[in-house]
Amino acid sequence: MSTDRVTLARTLDNYCKRERISVILADAIAAAGLLNELQPLLETPSYAPEPATRLAQIHDKWLFYEKLKEHIPMPRTALFHELSDLNEATVAWVGRPFVLKPLNGEAGHGIQRFEACSDALTYQRTPGKYRALPLLIQQYISGADFGYSVIADHGSVIIDDVQYRDENDVRTFIDNQNITMLCRAIIGRLNYSGPAFIDLRQDKDSGQFYALECNCRFWTTMTANAWTGINYADIAACMGLGTGLNLGRPRLATYHLPGTIASYLKQPSNFFKVSRQNWLGFFQALTDPLPHVLNTFYHDGR
């Protein structure tokens, strides 16, 4: 272990002692990988069960597809590694419309939809963000978006829930056993430990659910989970401390994110849709805005 890692671990321990912090959690994937590396040097308990190499492999959308494509329903996907890879034969196999997307993007950044191979080539050759190769060429699934939240331990689910992404980014927590079984199978095949959020889409014609990607980290909307029943950060903290788990129970409820509520100023009648718990979450975000600002800055500034 290098001297700078030892120094960093000591600095973290001293900070935690000074601020009376009892456990360290990691937000982003890079931070989780670093925390996992530092764990043997830290006196402060922490929760970061996967090494950086494993996190990078799971988060890489191509490697994720390659590992699971024979077992899990996924959109047809090809690797766009050099210009000759994007051709009419590949597009015909993937299907139209199709998307180009980064291998390691988040929050939908860099995803572009096309009908024609020539238009996609023109886009990729034009200077701009998220256009450097390699990219993915992926079948576009028209339908509704869902998300699966989980904390797992060696492929076994500790706690999970499912949310439907409604209009205006409203999150509705639902009981959908098809999604739950599909995602638990993914977690099991990955033998994954830690927090994760799996993005899915349901085909509007067939009703089939397709797994799109697995973000092996805490997610930006986890306050929605907390205010509707499951505090994933608290559960992770308990796991880091080795104490009893405060496992909440997911409620079938709707949560309007803070930005969504702010947009209701244009149509105040929407305020009546917001529950008391939801309002508490909104005012919590107003009184402690820094985590939300940092998340927005991080994801929008990539």
Residue 1 has pLDDT above 60, yes or no: no
Domains (ranges, CATH) in the chain? 3-49 (no CATH), 76-139 (3.30.1490.20), 256-302 (no CATH)
Residue 250 has pLDDT above 80, yes or no: no
Local confidence band at 107 (pLDDT 50, 70, 90 cut-offs): low
Cα–Cα–Cα angle for 114, 120, 122, rounded to 5 degrees: 140
Residue 91 has pLDDT above 70, yes or no: yes
Residue 57 has pLDDT above 90, yes or no: yes
- Could you tell me the two tokens for 102? 């980064």
Residue range 117-153, pLDDT digits in tens: 999 999 999 988 888 899 999 999 999 999 999 999 9
Q: Span 33-43, mean pLDDT?
A: 96
Contact present, 38 and 6 (Cβ < 8 Å): no
Local confidence band at 297 (pLDDT 50, 70, 90 cut-offs): low
Distance CA 164, CA 246 (A): 24
Nearest residue to 189 (alpha-carbon basis) of 198, 176, 201: 198
**Comparing 37 with 106, which gets the higher pLDDT?**
37
Distance CA 91, CA 86 (A): 7
Q: What is the 3-state secondary structure (H, E, C) of the chain?
A: CCHHHHHHHHHHHHHHHHHCCCCEECCCHHHHHHHHHHHHHCCCCEECCCCHHHHHHHHCHHHHHHHHCCCCCCCCEEEECCHHHCCHHHHHHHCCCEEEEECCCCCCCCCEEECCHHHHHHHHHCCCCCCCCCEEEEECCCEEEEEEEEEEECCEEEEEEEEEECHHHCEEEECCHHHHHHHHHHHHHHCCCEEEEEEEEEECCCCCEEEEEEECCCCCCHHHHHHCCCCHHHHHHHHHHCCCCCCCCCCCCEECCHHHHHHHHHCHHHHHHCCHHHHHHHHHHHHCCHHHHHHHHHHHCC
Q: Span 155-181, mean pLDDT?
A: 93
Residues of the chain with pLDDT > 90, as a percent, come to 73
Report the interhelical angle of 177-190 vs 61-68 (nearest 10°): 100
Mean pLDDT taken over the chain:
91
Q: Using a CB cutoff of 8 Å and minimum separation of 24, what contacts does 104-111 make?
A: 104/59, 104/60, 104/61, 105/130, 105/302, 106/215, 106/299, 106/302, 107/220, 107/299, 109/299, 109/302
Q: Is the pTM of this model over 0.85?
A: yes
Which pLDDT score, from 0 to 100, does residue 295 have?
62
Residue range 181-201, pLDDT digits in tens: 999 999 999 999 999 999 999
Q: How far from 267 is each of 93, 272, 280, CA to CA, in Å?
A: 45, 11, 20
